[in-house]
Amino acid sequence: MVAGTGKLRKLRLKAPARPEDLAALRIGDVVHLDGVIYTGREGVYRRAVEEGVPLPLDLAAVSNVNFHCSPAAAREPDGSYRIGAVTATASFRFAKWMERWFALSGARVIVGKGGMSGEDYRRLFRPAGAVYLTTVGYGTGALLGRGVKRVRSVHWLEELGIAQALWVLEVENFGPLLVDGDLEGNSLFERENAKLQARLREVYDGLREPALKRYGETTDRGDEVV
């Protein structure tokens, strides 16, 4: 059955997002975005946060939605850009820059892949009034590509290259995305991980450990590898 997918709340969120709209989001909500978003990942974070290079535009005036993505963009003869498929990159690697990035950019929505830890949400996101939305699948590249209506501008293209540049995108019905981290610091992935724990004891029940161990190996199946 499409068991109970009707129970998930489906919402449209305007970007840039208003605080009251973010406060209404709960983990597990399905969100589609309309408006303006921008890409930014380690290249932008290093340059802006670590090297202190001033941002190439007044980002806070443009949008507060930061997408962890490298678009597959091809330049057209008229100088515009064509975007085919769009897929997020795993966000857990970027947590270390978030606190200063929130202060610097005014970002309040992070869109990416796989979320960050619940601790990151409570320690970094909640104080900044920020939420985390994850792409689904993974690999709804064609649907997300359809949602990108236009490349408004691209910044730091020469300095960082196509994959790492800061792309400002106009989007419509951009999704689906799932709320993984809400303003209270809840994590959807961690809630689901917790449900799994009881099952794991049963699944491993009676299976002997292998003869040869490995360095660095965890035997706690409650652990994550990220």
Question: Minimum distance from CB of 201 to another protein (Å)?
Answer: 11
What is the chain's Cα-based Rg? 19
Nearer residue to another protein within complex by CB, 56 or 114: 114
Nearer residue to another protein within complex by CB, 58 or 218: 218
CB-based contact 92:117 (threshold 8 Å):
yes
Question: Minimum distance from CB of 195 to another protein (Å)?
Answer: 5
Q: Which residues contact 127 (CB under 8 A, 6 or more apart)?
A: none
CB-based contact 114:193 (threshold 8 Å):
no
Question: Minimum distance from CB of 47 to another protein (Å)?
Answer: 17
What three-state secondary structure class fits 65?
Answer: strand
Whole-angstrom distance, CA of residue 179 vs CA of residue 140? 16
Q: How many CB atoms lie within 10 A of CB 179?
A: 24
Instruction: Supply the DSSP symbol for 79.
Output: S
For residue 11, the Cα-to-chain-centroid distance in whole angstroms is 17
Nearer residue to another protein within complex by CB, 22 or 144: 144
As given in the structure block, the two tokens for residue 3 are 């068991």
Nearer residue to another protein within complex by CB, 61 or 198: 198
Type of residue numbered 25: L
**Which of 120, 158, 113 lies closest to 136, judged by CA?**
113
Question: Minimum distance from CB of 72 to another protein (Å)?
Answer: 5
Which residues contact another protein by CB under 8 A? 1-5, 7-8, 28, 30, 69-72, 74, 84-87, 90, 114-115, 134, 136-146, 176, 178, 188-189, 192-193, 195-196, 199-200, 203-204, 206-212, 214, 221, 224-226
Nearer residue to another protein within complex by CB, 119 or 192: 192
Nearer residue to another protein within complex by CB, 23 or 74: 74
Question: Minimum distance from CB of 74 to another protein (Å)?
Answer: 5
Question: Minimum distance from CB of 168 to another protein (Å)?
Answer: 18
